Amino acid sequence: MAFPERFLDELTERNDIVDVVSQYVRLTKKSGANLFGLCPFHSEKTPSFSVAPDKQIYHCFGCGKGGGVINFIMEIENLSFPDAVAFLARRANMPLPEEAQSEDTSRRARLLELNRDAARFFHDMLKSPQGAPAQDYVRRRAISPAMVTRFGLGFAPDSWESLANAMRRKGYSDQEMFEAGLVKHGKSGGVYDAFRNRLMFPIRNIRGQVIAFSARTMIGEEPKYINTGDTPIFTKGSEVFGLYEARKSIQDKKRVIVVEGQMDVIQLSQAGFGEACAPLGTAIRAEHIERLLKMTDHVIFSFD
């Protein structure tokens, strides 16, 4: 298997050749910067095996063997290159790249689960007696119950720890909630809910997974919308709200209507234009357009 250059650089940096060789050979300083010892690869009585700390290499003047730290471990432990790399990675307490990658994959999966559970919490809240302010708001804006379900709308209660407590009960750590952008750090070191007293719009990726939230004020607060900041699973500058919900209509009608805000998407959808969506962020960018053009080449912009 191929290891990334950067990983191998770090591996050799963190396995000083003098330290590694010293575990097998008694080294004594002899000439200049170099250390000498009895060669472990051939039998000898006077040291001809040298290590150059500045160059991080070894060389035997008797049998001619030489190389870097990885090569030394291959020779002395009789290991293949990948096994020698794994050996030194363990020694330096470094995860191997594929392990690091699977760690990253499971971390992302965990954040997606957390977002899904948070979306359920907000949605349940909207339907509960506590959700009365949001229910009023939805009614005033003439959003039908079908749209509430279609877009998974929710309500973040006017409270500092409703979501945090609910997610803790589900086994999520404060750190995970922080990484997902669902909580912020308070001055006392604890965390508090990032979204309070707002109508919640889950942002789904094209596979339908909740990757972030957009939260709209219902009482005229500024800013009108708060979005999740960038997280390991969400890059605001390239996401489009409503694309997952719109995907079937886009296919059927062979077009997409791009509008400015989440409420526009919902109202158009309710009026029979299920192919509407809205870019997240303040401006439409090339990344947004690329995403839309993957689905249809008929893109209609409808901005104020």
**Which residues contact Zn ion (rule: CB under 5 A)?**
39, 41-42, 60, 62-63
Q: How far is the CB of 74 from Zn ion (least distance, A)?
A: 15
Q: Which is nearer to Zn ion, 72 or 155 (CB)?
A: 72
Q: Which is nearer to Zn ion, 75 or 174 (CB)?
A: 75
Q: Which is nearer to Zn ion, 60 or 118 (CB)?
A: 60
Q: Which is nearer to Zn ion, 68 or 237 (CB)?
A: 68
Q: Which amino acid is at 258?
A: V
DSSP annotation string for the chain: -PPPHHHHHHHHHHS-HHHHHHTTS--EE-STT-EEE--SSS--SS--EEEETTTTEEEETTT--EE-HHHHHHHHHT--HHHHHHHHHHHTT---HHHHHHHHHHHHHHHHHHHHHHHHHHHHHHHSGGGHHHHHHHHHTT--HHHHHHTT-EEE-SSSSHHHHHHHHTT--HHHHHHTTSEEE-TTS-EEES--SEEEEEEE-TTS-EEEEEEEESS--SSSEEE---BTTB-GGG-EETHHHHHHHHHHHT-EEE-SSHHHHHHHHHTT-TTEEEESSSS--HHHHHHHHTT-S-EEE---
Q: How far is the CB of 32 from Zn ion (least distance, A)?
A: 20
Q: How far is the CB of 64 from Zn ion (least distance, A)?
A: 7
Helices 97-127 and 132-140, packing angle to 10 deg: 80
Q: Which is nearer to Zn ion, 42 or 55 (CB)?
A: 42
Q: How far is the CB of 231 from Zn ion (least distance, A)?
A: 54
Q: Which is nearer to Zn ion, 39 or 268 (CB)?
A: 39
Q: How far is the CB of 49 from Zn ion (least distance, A)?
A: 5
Q: Which is nearer to Zn ion, 66 or 242 (CB)?
A: 66
Q: How far is the CB of 4 from Zn ion (least distance, A)?
A: 32
Q: How far is the CB of 85 from Zn ion (least distance, A)?
A: 23
